[in-house]
Amino acid sequence: MEISGVVVGTYLVILVLLAVYGFHRSSLVFLYYRHRDKRPRAIGTFSDLPAVTVQLPLFNEMYVVERLLDSVAEIRYPRDRFQVQVLDDSTDETQEICQRKIAELRRRYPDLDIEYVHRAIRGGFKAGALENGLRTAKGEFILIFDADFLPLPDVLDGSIHHFLDPRVAVVQCRWDHVNRDFSALTEVQALMLDGHFMMEHAGRNRSGRFFNFNGTAGIWRRAAIADAGGWQHDTLTEDMDLSYRAQLRGWKFVYLPEIAAPAELPVEMSSFKSQQFRWAKGSIQVALKLLPTILRSNATFAQKSEAFFHLTNNLAYPLLVLLSLLLLPNLVFRTHHGWREVLMIDLPLFFGTTLSIASFYLASQREIELLRNPDAPRRVQWSVLRRLPLVMSLGIGLCVNQTRAVLEALLGRETEFVRTPKHGIRLKLESWSSKKYRAAKSITPFIELAMALYFAVAMGAALQNGHYLSMPFLALFLCGFGYVGCVSLWQGGVGLALRSWAKRLVPARAAFSPRAHVVPARSAPARGVPILVPPAFTRLGQSGGAPSSAHNATIELDIHDMERAVAEAMPTPPPLPRAPTRLS
C-alpha cells in the first residue's frame, strides 16, 4: 500500500472517531430535551433538619479566603446543627488570614461553630484534607466548597430536603460565574462550563445515567462516603472517582441546576490550562481504575455506554493532535479528489462535528436563560454565536496540553495535585499580574506556536492545491494554536519581561504625554501604579463587609490597563499646560 493511502486512510479514520465523540455530545442534548420534564423533586421536607458540616479545603488562597468565609457564615441554617470546617493546608500567609478572619466571625456570630484544621504535611492533597476533616465533622451531611466559590445564603434551603430519600448520596448544584465578562477567555470558559452543567449533567441525571459530583458546590451523605470506600487520592479527580464508586454501590445522585453557586473563573491562560490538565489526567486515571469494573457491573447498557464516553472523552485530544499532524500530508496527497468526494466525506464529517458543538452551547445558554426567567422570549443568541468560533478554537488549542495529560495518565506517571491559582478577580479593570500565585512555566506554549506555524504552511498548501473548502477548517486550527500559545507566553515570562521594559519607559512618557493624568502621591512601586478607584468600583467589598487587606478598594493596574482606563474616562486630551488631576 502506498504511503499516500495510509496517510489519507488514517486521517479519515481519526476524523470518524472524532465525529463519534461529537455526535455523542449531540446525543446529550437529545437526552436533555427528551427528559426535560423529569426534574428531581424532594419526596417531602424534614420536620427536624439534620446536622450539616461545611468543609472548605484550602491551599494557599490568600486572595479569596476571606470572601469565602464571609459567604459561608451567611448561609441560612439552624446554628445548633451547622458546623464549618476550614481545612487549611496552606504554607503561606493564608494561615494568618484564615485565623484572623475566623476570630472576626466568632465575634460577629457568637453561635457559629467554626473549626480551623491545619495539616503540616499535605498527605493525599485535597482528598486527604477532606478525609481528615471527617474525623471531627459533626454533620450527617457534608457540604463542600472550594476557595473560589461564594455560596449564596439559600444554598441549603432547596437542596437538603432531597436527602429525605434514604437512597440519595449527593445533591450537586450548578456553577455560576462572578467574572464571566472579565475577558474573552473567561467568557469562553463560562460557555464551556454552562454546557457541561446544563446539557451533560442534567441530561445524564434525568435519563438515569451516571454523573459525577464536581468536587465543590455539592452535598454528600456522610454514610455514602464511607460505604463507597471513602476519599481516595490515587487519582487527580477524587470527586469523579468517589462518585462512580458510590453509584456502583447503588446510591442515587441528584442534580439541581436551579440552585446556582457563584465562583471565580481562571483569568490566566496558564492557570486555565493547569486546571484542564488536572481534569483530563484525572478522568483517564478514573477510567483506568474503574471502567473495567463498570463494564462488568449490573448497570444498564445505557449507564455503561455513557460512563465509557464520559470517562474516555479526553482521548479525543490525542486523536486531535494526530489529525492536526496529518492535515498537511492529507492536503498534499489528495491533490486530485473532486467535489463529489468533498461533499460525501469531508463536509459531512466537518459539519457533523462543528454543528454538534454549536447546538450544544446554544441549547445550554437558552436553558440557563429560562432558569433565570421562565418567560424569556425565544431569540437568536448573538452573544453566544459570536464566541462559538473561539470556543472551538480554544478546544483545538488545548489539545497539546491535554494530550500530555492523557499520555501521563496512560503511562502511569503520578504527579501532585496542583491547585488552580485564584486571584479574587471580579471586575474588568482589576489586575492579576501583580498577584503572588502563578501557574508553573511550561514548554507547551512554544509547541502550540510551532503548531500554529505548521497550519500557516498548511493553509498555503491548501490554496496552492485548490482546497478552498478546507480553509475554514484550517483557520480554526491556526487561530486555536496561535491564540493559546500567544496568550500563554504574553501572560507568562515573555509578557512579564516586556511589561517590565514598558514600565521603565513610563517616567519619560509621563513627562511629555498630555494623557498623564494619574500621578501617585509617592513613587510608584515596582509591581504597578496605584490608581484611585472610581466610586462604582468600591462596591466590590460591600458583599462581605469592609474591603480586606487581601483585596482592598485600591486596585493596582498594569501600565497598559492604566492607559486604557484613562483613555476611556477622558477620551479628549486637555490642553497643555495643565495641573495633573486624579481619576475620580
Separation CA 174–CA 262 (nearest Å):
9
| Residue 144 belongs to a domain | yes
Q: What percent of the chain has pLDDT over 90?
A: 58
339 Cβ neighbours under 8 A, 6+ residues apart:
none
For residue 74, pLDDT over 80 is answered with: yes
Per-residue pLDDT reduced to its tens digit, 93-137: 999 999 999 999 999 999 999 999 999 888 899 999 999 999 999
Do residues 127 and 416 make contact, with C-beta atoms less than 8 angstroms apart? no
Higher-pLDDT residue of 163 and 462 is 163
| Residue 64 belongs to a domain | yes
Q: DSSP secondary-structure letter at 546?
A: S
Q: Provide φ and ψ at 116, rounded to 5°.
A: -105, 120
Q: Residue 483's closest CA among 291, 224, 273, 245?
A: 273
For residue 284, pLDDT over 90 is answered with: yes
| Residue 582 belongs to a domain | no
Separation CA 20–CA 360 (nearest Å):
15
User: What's the structural domain count of the chain?
Assistant: 2
In the sheet with 141-144, reading across from the earlier edge strand, the strands are 113-118, 82-88, 52-58, 141-144, 218-221, 168-177, 252-263
Mean of all residue pLDDT scores within the chain: 83
DSSP alpha helix (H) spans, 35-162: 65-73, 94-108, 125-133
Q: What is the CA radius of gyration of the chain?
A: 26
| Residue 154 belongs to a domain | yes
Q: Is 105 helix (H, G, I), strand (E, B) or coil?
A: helix
Do residues 16 and 188 make contact, with C-beta atoms less than 8 angstroms apart? no
Separation CA 30–CA 302 (nearest Å):
14
Do residues 407 and 318 make contact, with C-beta atoms less than 8 angstroms apart? yes
Q: H-helix or E-strand containing 357?
A: helix 347-372
Higher-pLDDT residue of 494 and 139 is 139
Separation CA 35–CA 581 (nearest Å):
61
Q: What is the pLDDT of residue 467?
A: 75
For residue 142, pLDDT over 80 is answered with: yes
Do residues 264 and 424 make contact, with C-beta atoms less than 8 angstroms apart? yes
* Residue 504: half-sphere exposure toward Cβ, Cα within 13 Å: 5
Q: What is the pLDDT of residue 437?
A: 52
End position of a domain, from candidates 270, 294, 323: 270
Per-residue pLDDT reduced to its tens digit, 507-535: 655 555 554 444 444 444 444 434 333 33
For residue 356, pLDDT over 70 is answered with: yes
* Residue 477: half-sphere exposure toward Cβ, Cα within 13 Å: 26
CATH assignment at residue 69: 3.90.550.10
| Residue 492 belongs to a domain | no
- The verdict on whether omega for the bond into residue 577 sits within 30 degrees of 0, i.e. cis, is yes
* Residue 372: half-sphere exposure toward Cβ, Cα within 13 Å: 10
| Residue 450 belongs to a domain | no
| Residue 278 belongs to a domain | no
Give the confidence band of 15 by pLDDT, cuts at 50, 70, 90. Answer: confident
Separation CA 49–CA 80 (nearest Å):
10
Q: What is the pLDDT of residue 439?
A: 57
Separation CA 100–CA 150 (nearest Å):
19
Per-residue pLDDT reduced to its tens digit, 409-446: 999 998 776 666 665 665 554 554 555 555 566 889 99
Q: What is the pLDDT of residue 416?
A: 72
Which residues are tagged catalytic? 89, 239
Per-residue pLDDT reduced to its tens digit, 190-221: 999 999 999 999 999 999 999 999 999 999 99
Grid coordinates 439552624 are at which residue?
A: 78
| Residue 266 belongs to a domain | yes
End position of a domain, from candidates 228, 244, 270: 270
Q: What is the pLDDT of residue 411?
A: 95
Give the confidence band of 358 by pLDDT, cuts at 50, 70, 90. Answer: confident
Q: What is the pLDDT of residue 359?
A: 84
Higher-pLDDT residue of 545 and 332 is 332
* Residue 100: half-sphere exposure toward Cβ, Cα within 13 Å: 12
What domain range includes position 518?
507-569
Separation CA 92–CA 62 (nearest Å):
8
* Residue 315: half-sphere exposure toward Cβ, Cα within 13 Å: 18
Q: What is the pLDDT of residue 335?
A: 59
